[in-house]
């Protein structure tokens, strides 16, 4: 991954089609962040994010498919669903009618 600055006014990358352009007064705009003016360092970071996303989405998409979800469903659920509480559930008196086979 490499972000290249061309003529102090354009940033490109060899890993993403997104770009950043200088808008003067040390401000930069990034193609996928319309309406935002960033510092040079922020613009570089934004392009690095754009470089990292496609490989991540490819790997997550493959895993999501294995569990019968779309990429967006898996991402949304992993981000928004709360993890289980670490506290064990209180024991209740339960009649056992048979054992459940363990997952192989």
In this prediction, residue 104 carries a pLDDT of: 47
Dihedral angle of Cα 79, 85, 91, 95, to the nearest 10 degrees: 10
Q: What is the arithmetic mean of pLDDT over 18-38? A: 96
Beta strands of the chain (E only): which ranges? 3-6, 10-13, 20-24, 27-30
Q: Which residue has the higher pLDDT, 3 or 1?
A: 3
Selection from 1, 31, 19 nearest residue 9 by Cα = 19
Residue that the structure tokens 């990429």 belong to: 71
Selection from 30, 52, 26 nearest residue 40 by Cα = 26
Q: What is the arithmetic mean of pLDDT over 42-59? A: 92
62-79 confidence digits (pLDDT tens) = 999 999 999 999 999 999
Percent of the chain with pLDDT over 90: 61
Q: What is the arithmetic mean of pLDDT over 13-29? A: 94
Token pair of 12 as six digits: 């490109």
Among 24-33, 55-64, 78-87, the least confident range: 78-87
Is residue 20 within 8 Å of residue 43, measured between CB atoms? yes
């Amino acid at each position: 991954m490499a972000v290249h600055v061309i003529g102090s006014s354009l940033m490109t990358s060899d890993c993403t089609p997104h770009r950043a352009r200088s808008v003067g007064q040390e401000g930069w705009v990034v193609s996928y962040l319309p309406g935002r003016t960033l510092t040079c360092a922020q613009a570089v970071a934004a392009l690095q994010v754009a470089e990292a996303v496609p490989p991540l989405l490819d790997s997550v998409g493959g895993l999501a498919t294995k569990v019968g979800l779309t990429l967006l469903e898996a991402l949304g659920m992993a981000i928004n669903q709360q993890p289980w509480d670490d506290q064990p559930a209180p024991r209740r008196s339960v009649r056992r009618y048979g054992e459940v086979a363990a997952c192989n």
